[in-house]
Structure 1
Amino acid sequence: MNAPLKLYWWAAKPNFGDAISRAIVARVSGREVAWGKPGQVDVFAIGSIMHVVRRSNRAPRADGRKPVVWGTGMLKPVQTDFLENVDVALLRGPISESLLGVSVPGYGDPGLLMSEVMDAPARQDRIGLIPHYAQLQDPAFRALVAAHPVLELIDVRGEALEVCRQIAACAHVVSSSLHGLIVADSFGVPNTWLNPEGIHASPALKFLDYAAGVERALPRPVELGDLPGMLAQLPTGALPYAAGVARSKGDLLQSFPAALKSVEESLE
């Protein structure tokens, strides 16, 4: 298997959550990974991209191959007229499973495996504030950081591995970016869901889907204006749903197809 594994990830705008897909699939497969057009790829992984999977696979491929869907999620329900043309190995969560009407052996977003790609840096006494890329121009975020030195603004448009290092070094993370929460979970960093209003037409589904997959009881997201009064009480201990995160990591590793791996270099 010398040819690169072809993977689709959303690349229209810089966003670390999509960019880490390549590093994680390369680590798990033991192969070089290259971006591919949706209709030509071997794998779909990280991202709320089920609509892309459907759009590019409503008809069978001429060569008969079926791309693998591994840990992918969705922004909203999609029609299921593509399922016979793909191999669904795993989904982000049970909501995706129910909406597609399929059965999968477990749940998990591949971003949970970021801790297998890089070592965790030393923790620091700071709280990471991670706006979704669609919110980065909101001056309220920078004003809040300027007023509270314990906060560090983490820009999701930065180099993907560096963004992950910043997250992993935090004592706590507050994020309206789904993968801000997921990467924090990967490294065991406690985290809080920040209101994602305005980032998508239906932003909550992907968060609830992921949380259900790791058995996390996810309360309503906090409002940015309420954050100053919460800073001193944000938890910094172990994740109460750590067992669910560990199970999802195992499910992700077990479900990645052996046929796509390099036997010598893959992660088991």
Structure 2
Amino acid sequence: MRKVKVFSASVRGKFGESPENFGDNLMHHLLGELFDLEVQYVPPAEAELLGVGSVLDAYWRRVHRDSVPIRKRRPWRTLHIWGGGFMTSESRPIWPQRISYHAVRGPRSLERIQTKNKIFLGDPALLLPQIWPGATVLTKKILLVPHFVTFQYFNDKYLSILPKDWGILNLLSSPREICEKISGSEFIISNSLHGLIVADAYGVPSCRIHPYGPIKGDGFKFIDYEEQRGKLLNVPYYMEDILNGKINLKDEAFSPCRPSASTIEGLISSFPMK
């Protein structure tokens, strides 16, 4: 199995040594299952591939500079971009390596890059059903999928008062378990972008709720995805309004947007290291 050097914004050290961000860790599974490649997580300047997540501006956010000092530039290395996006509306795709774009998350990210390549739009997390078909039996009626930094808040505040057929999912669980639980639910409530993307991937209705915590970004990533999705995500709701029945979760506005066959084919065909 050939190794590919990948930078992932939340991974520290060897994969699996500690719980990490669900979305950022999906490359480990997608590359292995779809392309028979082994992910080797490396520092930013050593990476040859960026994929799932708001990672196009990750180096810029770390160095807080609009250019890379000459001594740190690596123009002999190429950094391939496959499906990633920007975290914020003001950040920049600054990297020590040469950048080669193949796919980005959405049209807002596409507007901010300079390339002559034909760029495909889509988040690679939409490919998850290609490696894990999902649950065959429903396990929960409603599943809350909070961003991992807000899980404890949701667990402490809501777990004891939720209806018995509702649940809360910890995004620091194993990615496969997360996909099985999302696909085995009737409805997803989430403030995590990848909670909503995975719901779409498996055809599960979903709605977005307020952050309720220090989630990074200014909302750019949600707009970027919804424009590629082709259907607006709802304005974030308050959890209390959902629990009090003020929001009709059967409304057509919450119906899933399964990725089209052309989106799946385009994501796979645009992968640069087959």
**TM-score range normalised by the length of the shorter chain:** 0.7 to 0.9
Contact 1:70 1:88 survives alignment (8 Å): yes
Distance in 1 between residues matched to 2:149 and 2:241, nearest whole Å: 20
Q: 3-state DSSP class of the match of 2:29?
A: helix
Q: 3-state DSSP class of the match of 2:217?
A: coil
TM-score by length of 1: 0.83
Q: Are positions 1:52 and 2:66 aligned together?
A: no
Mark the CA change 1:87 to 1:60 in structure 2 (over 3 Å): closer, same or farther. Answer: farther
Determine what percentage of the aligned residue pairs are the same residue.
Answer: 25
Structure 1 residue 155 displacement after superposition? 0.4
Aligned to 2:105: 92
RMSD: 2.8
Q: Are positions 1:5 and 2:4 aligned together?
A: yes
Q: 3-state DSSP class of the match of 2:46?
A: coil
Report the residue type matching 1:73 in the other structure: G
Structure 1 residue 194 displacement after superposition? 1.4
Distance in 1 between residues matched to 2:52 and 2:230, nearest whole Å: 19
Report the residue type matching 1:41 in the other structure: A
- Provide the aligned length of Structure 1 versus Structure 2: 255
Q: Deviations over 1:160-198 (max 9, x none)?
A: 211121111111111111111111111111111111253
Distance in 2 between residues matched to 1:209 and 1:47, nearest whole Å: 12
Which one of the candidate residues 20, 29, 33 is aligned to 2:35?
Answer: 29
Which one of the candidate residues 166, 174, 187 is aligned to 2:189?
Answer: 174
Structure 1 residue 248 displacement after superposition? 2.9
Relative CO higher for 1 or 2, CA cutoff 8 Å, sep ≥ 6? 1
| 5+ residue gaps, structure 1 | 262-268
Report the residue type matching 2:11 in the other structure: A
Aligned to 2:16: none
Mark the CA change 1:154 to 1:256 in structure 2 (over 3 Å): closer, same or farther. Answer: same
Contact 2:189 2:207 survives alignment (8 Å): yes
| 5+ residue gaps, structure 2 | 13-18
Q: Deviations over 1:58-105 (max 9, x none)?
A: 46526x231111111111132355498111111111111113355653
Q: Deviations over 1:193-217 (max 9, x none)?
A: 1112533353411111111112121
Distance in 1 between residues matched to 2:23 and 2:228, nearest whole Å: 18
Contact 1:78 1:100 survives alignment (8 Å): no
Distance in 1 between residues matched to 2:196 and 2:134, nearest whole Å: 16
